[in-house]
């Protein structure tokens, strides 16, 4: 694949909120793709801190019901119908990938390599971010749309209870995916001059 093709593929990844279930790709292939991408995503010291739960069908719907329930006491009554509408949008999609980071591995590394103790939680977050991005890009190349949500920590307890998630798995993000029902709007970019510097070229 040329670098230009890679860039084209990166551009396929956008935040798509109008998602549906009109997906031809078999679920087994989606699962394999997600899992292989996670495995190929780098982690500090190859610590492989990422833990991933993929939800489809009733499990996916349950996640968004649990989210609606968890948000209810935290949301002003007049704003709650809008919250429910937004949640319904996520529920209408095909599935959700839950990204966790295993804190037992992070703690183990901190104990083993005390010199880097402060870095391991940061590197764990970075690994989670880049893993999420890789999965998001891969799903986009496969023709699916996705958007990234962060209802953690509000939903952490409900999720852990529902799917028997180990206590050390810290929920970091939720990637909602499905068929693209409406494309993303054109994206705006800040000036390159504010972002990039090159010396000695």
Ligand X SMILES: Cc1cc2nc3c(=O)[nH]c(=O)nc-3n(C[C@H](O)[C@H](O)[C@H](O)COP(=O)(O)O)c2cc1C
> Is 147 among the residues that bind ligand X (CB under 6 A)?
yes
Task: Kindly state the smallest distance separating residue 185's Cβ from ligand X, in Å.
Answer: 8
Identify which of residues 30 and 175 has a Cβ nearer to ligand X in the complex.
175
> Is 187 among the residues that bind ligand X (CB under 6 A)?
yes
* Nearest to 174, CA basis, from 132, 125, 138: 132
Among residues 65, 149, 168, 181, the one that binds ligand X under rule CB under 6 A: 149
Close Cβ partners of 80 (under 8 Å, ≥ 6 residues apart):
71, 72
Q: Quick one: CA torsion of 54, 59, 63, 69, rounded to 10 degrees?
A: -170
Identify which of residues 24 and 188 has a Cβ nearer to ligand X in the complex.
188
> Is 152 among the residues that bind ligand X (CB under 6 A)?
no
Task: Kindly state the smallest distance separating residue 171's Cβ from ligand X, in Å.
Answer: 13
* Nearest to 72, CA basis, from 191, 185, 3, 154: 154
Identify which of residues 5 and 187 has a Cβ nearer to ligand X in the complex.
187
Among residues 59, 141, 148, 154, the one that binds ligand X under rule CB under 6 A: 148
Considering only residues 2 to 41 of the shown chain, the ones binding ligand X according to CB under 6 A are 14-15
Number of residues that bind ligand X (CB under 6 A): 9
| Burial state string for 40-78 with b = 16 or more CB within 10 A and e = fewer than 16 | ebebbeebebbbbbbbeeeebbbbbebbbebbeeeeeee
């Amino acid at each position: 694949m040329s670098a230009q093709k890679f860039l084209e593929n990166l551009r396929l990844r956008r935040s798509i909120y109008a998602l549906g279930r009109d997906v031809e790709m078999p679920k087994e292939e989606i699962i394999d793709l997600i899992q292989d991408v996670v495995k190929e995503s780098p982690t500090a010291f190859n610590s492989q801190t990422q833990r991933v739960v993929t939800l489809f069908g009733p499990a996916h719907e349950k996640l968004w019901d649990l989210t609606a329930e968890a948000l209810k006491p935290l949301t002003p009554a007049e704003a709650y119908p809008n919250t429910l509408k937004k949640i319904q949008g996520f529920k209408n999609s095909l599935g959700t990938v839950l990204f966790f980071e295993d804190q037992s591995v992070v703690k183990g590394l901190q104990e083993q390599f005390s010199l880097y103790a402060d870095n391991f939680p940061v590197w764990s977050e970075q690994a989670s971010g880049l893993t999420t991005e890789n999965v998001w890009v891969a799903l986009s190349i496969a023709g699916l749309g996705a958007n990234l949500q962060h209802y953690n920590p509000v939903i952490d307890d409900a999720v852990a209870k529902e799917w028997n998630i180990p206590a050390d798995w810290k929920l970091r993000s939720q990637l909602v995916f499905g068929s693209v029902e409406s494309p993303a709007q054109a994206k705006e970019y800040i000036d390159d001059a504010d972002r990039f510097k090159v010396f000695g070229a």
